[in-house]
């Protein structure tokens, strides 16, 4: 296996930690990208990888994205990510989650974990039995914390509206066609926000029944998962897994805007230029999807309530507009502009 230092996505990470607990069956990796601004914060992903090296690559990419996300959101947190390697059946047990909690705890507070793909609020309770360095736990009404998904969806909704306003000067979403890829907690929440505003929706999900049910509920249309990227729409919103935008998919886009919540949407750095070259307005993923981490970070830090969380999320559109303005002035892709801003904030500019 290639050493972690030699993987393309190794970016001077402070630590890449591999864990194995034979008793519970846990196999996991935690990547800490930067703790310049504070403890590395980022969710834990539970996923099956055909090649275990892909799990390390995922952790490297996601942890770097968390460094950028937390910095751009103005949070006193660094960037890190956990990945639990699932078997083909995605077997998950309390013993496995508790063992992961102990793995987190062994890092002495350098990593604060929360929910990500495949991990629920209930799972976080189990993980917390092994460590106090956890967020996204159930909280009282009005407090910061709990399931980050709805907060992520809210921020993306605001970002999509900002993108439409910036690109076409339209102040509302009535009649705006949005093609949403992935309608789980985040994409589904986004769809509901947009439906209330009178947007036209086309939905797709690897679980086609879920997409069809939500489309029927909201008066939208459902298409097969592989077809969504080629739908002619005002906005393409990727809200599933990453690396969806690449040299093959970008030419298929029939939209002027890409704005969604999936992490690491660009398969390679060159794909930023491909989008920019086509004149597509891009909302950098770690800027638009910061709502969830804002919520759980403020929970962990004990800073503010639900109103404070929402107030900070409502700053996302201004950050996006600053990136787009600089992109237009400099001629650089929006993703490159955002990266430069984030790198400067974490002392790597």
Identify the H or E element spanning 235. strand 235-238
Exposure string of 291-313, with b = 16+ CB inside 10 Å and e = fewer, is bbbbbbbbbbbeebbbeebbebb
- Would you say 30 and 103 are in contact if contact means Cβ atoms under 8 Å apart? yes
Contact 116, 94 (CB under 8 A): no
Cα(228)–Cα(231) distance, integer angstroms: 5
CA angle 101, 104, 105 (to 5 degrees): 85
The two three-digit tokens of residue 174, written as one number? 């009535």
- Rounded to whole angstroms, how far apart are CA atoms 317 and 323? 10
The three-state secondary structure class of 115 is strand
Give whole-number Cα distances, 38 to 75, 123, 212, 268, 305, in Å. Answer: 9, 25, 43, 28, 21
How far apart CA 133 and CA 308 sit, in angstroms, is 22
- Taking phi over 0 as left and psi of -120 to 50 as alpha, with beta for the rest, 57 belongs to alpha
Among the options 69, 81, 92, 161, which is catalytic? 81
Q: What distance lies between CA 2 and its chain's CA centroid?
A: 27
Query: Is 254 a catalytic site residue?
Result: no
Q: Three-state SS string across 126-190, please?
A: HHCCCCCCECCCCCCCCECCCCCHHHHHHHHHHHHHHHHHHHHCCCCCCCCEEEEECCCHHHHHH
Catalytic residue positions?
81
């Amino acid at each position: 296996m290639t050493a972690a230092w030699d993987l393309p996505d190794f970016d001077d990470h402070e630590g890449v930690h591999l864990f194995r607990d034979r008793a519970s069956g846990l196999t996991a990796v935690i990547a800490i990208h930067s703790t310049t601004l504070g403890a590395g914060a980022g969710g834990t992903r539970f996923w099956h990888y055909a090649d275990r090296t892909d799990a390390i690559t995922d952790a490297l990419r996601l942890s770097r994205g968390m460094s950028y996300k937390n910095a751009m959101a103005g949070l006193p947190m660094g960037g890190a990510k956990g990945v639990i390697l699932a078997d083909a059946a995605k077997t998950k047990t309390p013993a496995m989650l508790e063992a992961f909690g102990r793995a987190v705890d062994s890092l002495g507070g350098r990593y604060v974990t929360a929910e990500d793909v495949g991990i629920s609020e209930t799972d976080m309770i189990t993980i917390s039995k092994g460590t106090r360095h956890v967020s996204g736990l159930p909280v009282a009404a009005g407090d910061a914390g709990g399931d980050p998904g709805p907060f992520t969806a809210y921020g993306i909704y605001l970002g999509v509206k900002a993108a439409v306003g910036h690109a076409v000067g339209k102040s509302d979403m009535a009649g705006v066609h949005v093609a949403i890829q992935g309608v789980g907690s985040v994409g589904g929440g986004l769809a509901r926000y947009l439906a209330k505003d009178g947007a036209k929706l086309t939905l797709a999900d690897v679980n086609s029944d879920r997409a069809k049910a939500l489309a029927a509920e909201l008066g939208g249309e459902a298409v097969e998962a592989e077809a969504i990227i080629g739908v002619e729409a005002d906005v393409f919103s990727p809200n599933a897994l990453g690396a969806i935008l690449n040299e093959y998919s970008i030419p298929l886009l029939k939209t002027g805007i890409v704005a969604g919540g999936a992490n690491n949407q660009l398969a390679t750095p060159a794909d930023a230029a491909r989008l920019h070259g086509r004149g597509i307005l891009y909302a950098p993923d770690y800027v638009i999807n910061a709502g969830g981490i804002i919520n759980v970070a403020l929970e962990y830090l004990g800073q503010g309530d639900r109103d404070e969380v929402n107030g900070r999320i409502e700053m996302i559109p201004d950050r996006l507009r600053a990136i787009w303005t600089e992109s237009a002035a400099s001629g650089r892709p929006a993703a490159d502009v955002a990266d430069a801003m984030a790198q400067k904030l974490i002392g790597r500019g």
